[in-house]
Amino acid sequence: MRTDPELRQRVAELVSGATGGDVAVADLLAGGSMVALGLDSLGLLRLVDAIELEYEVEVDLQAPGRGLDTLDDLVTLVAASS
């Protein structure tokens, strides 16, 4: 699935903001696991709140078959819910 580069950039900024800047936008855009980059459980909760507020979508972390390990996983979720 192709995603809008602006959406991908904005979601990366939200992830970085949720970690207090500990996870760099450039690192997120390069790919890989958000957890491996430094997103912890508190950051994940902050991130979910930020995404739900900004995009008016519900992020269900318990949904079966929904992995949210990478930036692209998250962008796909937001794009599909918008």
The full set of domain ranges for the chain reads 5-81
Calculate the average pLDDT of the chain.
89
Dist CA 57 CA 7 (whole Å): 14
Dist CA 3 CA 43 (whole Å): 24
Per-residue pLDDT tens digits for 39-77:
999 999 999 999 999 999 888 877 766 678 899 989 988
Longest dimension (CA), the chain: 30
Q: What is the CATH number of domain 5-81?
A: 1.10.1200.10
